[in-house]
Amino acid sequence: MVQSIDLSKNRLSGGVPATLAGCKNLYSLDLSANNLTGALPAGLFPQLDVLTSLNISGNELDEDILQTSVH
């Protein structure tokens, strides 16, 4: 089972994939320093209930959606 994903500095572009919600045992996710854009997928965080570390810095994600997703 996947518990940690580090995709930092991989030149990823586009949106954050909604399929990450399927990684229910994920406690650490690092998507920093890529070219990700748009909003985080709706319903991503309720599915990742053991997630304790998230790094999405260095991307062009929509700040308004970020605030809504983490409340």
pLDDT at position 70 is 53
SS3 for the chain is: CCCEEECCCCCCEECCCHHHHHCCCCCEEECCCCEEEECCCCCHHHHCCCCCEEECCCCEECHHHHHHHCC
Checking if the pLDDT of 61 tops 90, the result is yes
Q: What predicted TM-score, i.e. pTM, was given to this entire model?
A: 0.85
Identify the band that residue 18 occupies on the pLDDT scale cut at 50, 70 and 90: very high
pLDDT-derived band at 42, boundaries 50, 70, 90? confident
